[in-house]
Amino acid sequence: MIEEDKKGLENQENMTENTVQDSNIVEKLEINTVIDEVETAQSEIIEENKTESQKDEADNISEDKKIENDEIFVSEIDVEEEEKLEDTQDKPEENDYASLNNEEIIEKLKHLIYESNIEETRKDIDLLKSLFYKNLKKKQDALRQEIINSTGNELEVSLPKDANEDYLKELWIEYAKKREELAKQQEVEKLENLKRKEEIIEKIKVLANGEESMNKTFNEFKDLQQEWLKIGQVPAEVSNNLWNNYQLQIERFYDLVKLNKEARDFDFKRNLEQKIELCEKAEELLLVTDVVAAYKKLQDYHELWKELGPVPSDKRVELWDRFSDISKKVRKNYQDYFEKLKEEREANYKQKLILCEKVENILTENTPNSGKEWIELSEQVLEIQKVWKTIGMVPAAVNNEVFERFRMACNKFFEGKNDFFNEINAEQKDNLQKKIEICLSAESLQESTDWKKSTGLFIDLQKKWKEIGPVPRKSSDQVWKRFRQACDHFFNAKSEFFENIEKEHKDNLIKKEALIEEIKNYKPLGDQTENINKIKEFQNTWTEIGFVANSERDKLYNEYREAINELYKKLKLNKSALELSNFANKVDAIKESGSTNELAKERNRILQKIKELNAEILKIENNMGFFASGSESLVKDFNKKIEKAQAEIKTLKEKKKAIDLAERELKKKDKNDEQTN
C-alpha cells in the first residue's frame, strides 16, 4: 500500500511556509520604518543647511532614500513563492552521508550534538535526521513488502519497533535543549552587542564635539566604524532604529567635525571600492545554479550595502543602478524557478490523476477468478504504486484530494484480493496438512535399506503429492524442500549402495575366476592330508570372496564345482570324509566363539534333514512295490537313491555326534568357569 508519510511532509511544509510568510511581513514593516526614520533624519539635516558640506550630506541622505526604496522593491517577493521557499542556503550535500547506515548516523549525530558547535552543524544534523528516516522507510518498505508477499494481506501489516528510532528521539530531545540554551545565550550576546553599539554611537557623538587634532579624530572615527562592523547581531526589534541612529551620527560627524575634503574623499573612495567589490560578488550569484541560495545570499549583500558608508556623488547613482540591476536579475531567476516549480507540480497532478484512473479501471474492467489472475493484477497495481512514488509533489490545494482518491482505489482492489484468498485459505491449509503427513511418511522410510519395497512406497508418496492442490505460499517452499530432502536422502543412499555392490561384484568375479584357474592348475602332492587341507583352503577362500552379479553367479559356481569335482577325481578322495572334515572345522569355530545357540541351530537342521531323508526312503520303497518284476532298471535306480540317502543319513549322524561332543565340552568349560569364579 502507499505510505501516508507524504501527508505529514505536506503539513510540515505548510508550517514552514507560514513561518516564511510571517517573516516576510515583518521584513516589509521594518523596511518601511527605516524609510520613515531616514526621511526624518534627512529633514533635520536639510533644516540645518548652514554650510556647503551640510548640503552635500543632505543630498547623500536623499540618495540613500532612493536606495532604500529600491531595496524594498527587491525584498518584496510574491507571497505564494515565499511560502514554497526551502532553506537550501549552505545546505550540506546528501552524498556526504549517503553511505552511512542508521547505526552510523546515530553515532555521527551523537558526535555533532555533544561535541560540536550546533549552530555551525545545524544543517548537518537536520540532514542526518532526514537520511535516518529515509533509510528507516526503505527498510520498513522492504519488510512490509516481504510480509505482504508472505501473507498476501496488505491491510493488516504490523511492523516491529525500531530501537534506533527511539534512541534518535532521545538525542533529538537533548538537541532541542541545547538549541534552547544556545538561543538564550545568543539573546544575551545580542543585548551585549546592543550595549556595545550604543556605546559606539555615543563615542561618535563625543568625537563630533571634541577638540582633538583632525587626524587623530578621524582615525578614532574609522576605528569605531571597524569595531561596529565586527560586532554581531542585536535584538531584531531595535535593529532598524539602532542602525538609523548610527547612520545619522555618521552623517552629523561629517558635518559637525568639518572634516577636510581630502579625508572625506578618502573615506568615500574606500566605500566605493567596497561597494564595487560587493557588486562583483552579486554578479557571481548569476552563475550559481541554486537560485534559492543565491537569492538568500543577495539579501545578505543588501544588508552589508546598508552598513557601508556613502560614495562619491558622481558614482552613487551609477553604482546603485549596477547593484540594483544585478538584484533584479537574481530575483527574476528566483521567480522563474518557482514558476517552473509550479508548472512541474501541475504536471505531477495530471500524472497522478491518470494513475488513479488506471487503478480504478483495473477494478471495473476485470473480474479475476483465480489466484494467478489476482496476482497478475496485483503486480500491475504495485507497479502503478512504484510509478506514483517517483512522481514529485503536487499543488498543496489538491494534494490530500488526489492522495485519498489513489489510496481508496488501491485499498478497494486489495480488499477484493484478500476476500478471494481468504476463501481458498482453508483449502490450502488442509492441503498443507496432507503434505506434512506425506513428509512424515517419507522421513520414516528414508533410512530403509529394503530398496525394492521402499522404492515402491516412495513412488506412491510422490504420486499422492502431485494429486494434492496448492498450499499457502509462505509454507510452499518449506514443505516441498522437506519432502524432496527425504526423497533425495533415500534415493541417493540407494544409488550409492548399488554402485558399491556393483563394484564389489566385479572385484569378486575377478577373484573367483582366478581361484577357479588356481584349482584347475593345482598339482596333487604325494601326501593326501596336505591335498585335503588344500581343498579346504580353496573352499574357504571361495566363501570369503563373497557374491557376484546374478547374471554371472550360476555359471561361475558350476565352473567352480566342476573344478573341485575334477580335483576329487585326481586325488581319489572319499567325498563324505572330506565333508565331515569341513564340518568338524566349522564346529570348532562355533565352539571357540562359545555360542551354544549356533550349535543348537546346527543340530536342529541336521535332525530335520535326517527326517526328510527317511521320509524320502520310505516314499521310494513304497513306489517300488508298484513296478513289475520286469522293470529291473528302474528298481535298480531306486535302490541307488536309497543307498545315497542312507549314506547321507550316516554322514549327518556323524555331524550330530560332533555337535553333541562340542556341547558337552562347552558345558564342562562353563562349569569350570563357575567353580573358578
Q: What are 425-440's pLDDT values in tens digits?
A: 878 888 989 889 989 9
User: 595 lies in a domain?
Assistant: yes
What integer pLDDT is reported at residue 70 of this predicted model?
37
pLDDT category of residue 95 using cuts at 50, 70 and 90: low
- Structural domain including 643 reads 574-677
Cut 0.85: pTM above it: no
Within 10 angstroms of residue 402's Cβ, the number of other Cβ atoms is 19
The span from the CA of 657 to the CA of 606, in Å, is 11
Q: What confidence score (pLDDT) does residue 318 get?
A: 92
What are the CA-CA distances from residue 108 to residues 116, 497, 647 (Å)? 11, 62, 104
Name the pLDDT band for 627 (thresholds 50, 70, 90).
low
Residue at 598 is within a domain: yes
pLDDT > 90? residue 329:
yes
Domain count, the chain: 1
Percentage of the chain with pLDDT > 70?
Answer: 77
The answer to whether residue 299 is domain-embedded is no
Tell me which residue has cell 550330530.
Answer: 656
Separation between Cα atoms, residue 211 and residue 203, nearest integer Å: 14
| Whole-number Å distance between alpha carbons of 68 and 60 | 12
The pLDDT confidence band at residue 47, using thresholds 50, 70 and 90, is: very low
| CB distance 461 to 421 below 8 Å | no
Domain assignment present for 146: no
Sign of CA dihedral 246, 251, 256, 258: positive
In a domain, 197, yes or no: no
Write down the mean pLDDT value for the chain: 77
* Whole-number percent of the chain with pLDDT over 90: 16
Residue 672 included in any domain: yes
In a domain, 592, yes or no: yes
| Cα–Cα distance measured from residue 607 to residue 603, given in angstroms and rounded to the nearest whole number | 6
In a domain, 603, yes or no: yes
The average pLDDT across 601-627 equals 85
> What value does the mean pLDDT take over residues 625-649?
76
Instruction: Give the per-residue pLDDT at 80.
Output: 36
